[in-house]
Amino acid sequence: MSVTGDEINLIVERILLATHFSMESEVAANYARAIAKRFSSTVTLANVIDLSMASRSEVAVAGQLIAEMRRDSSENLERLANDFSRSGVRVKTQTLESRYTASSIVTLAEE
């Protein structure tokens, strides 16, 4: 890869893609997939269930039920992981649960 005419070696072993399955997240997934293919990277797909938006009660007024959020996360991560795998990209998935989504993602990145 040439940036300024000088040859550089870049190694990207791991990519963390935090997603909430929106259209914007799909665009980010396409970039992550392309980078992973270029550098033979392993991608970790992560979704954070925001506990501040969840309710454990069956009569939830504000927020979704946690069980529903877990199911949605699992199904969407599986779908996305299959897309990456079909492209020849090594992929792992991780569902996190936290009231502090950003710090959870940073902690996962540091592992």
pLDDT digits (tens, 9 = 90+) for 48-95: 998 887 655 554 444 568 888 899 999 999 999 999 999 999 999 999
Non-local CB neighbours of 48 within 8 Å, separated by 6+ positions: 18, 20, 95, 96, 97, 98, 101, 104, 105
Per-residue pLDDT averaged across 3-12, rounded? 70
For residue 1, the model assigns a pLDDT of 47
Burial of 93 (0-12, 13-18, 19+ CB in 10 A): middle
For residue 66, the model assigns a pLDDT of 83
97 pLDDT more than 60: yes
Whole-number Å distance between alpha carbons of 11 and 34: 14
- Greater model confidence, 51 or 100: 100
For residue 9, the model assigns a pLDDT of 83
For residue 89, the model assigns a pLDDT of 97
For residue 2, the model assigns a pLDDT of 47
Closest Cα partner for 18 from 86, 65, 75, 73? Answer: 73
Tens digit of each residue's pLDDT (9 = 90 or more) over 10-43: 899 999 999 999 999 999 999 999 999 999 999 9
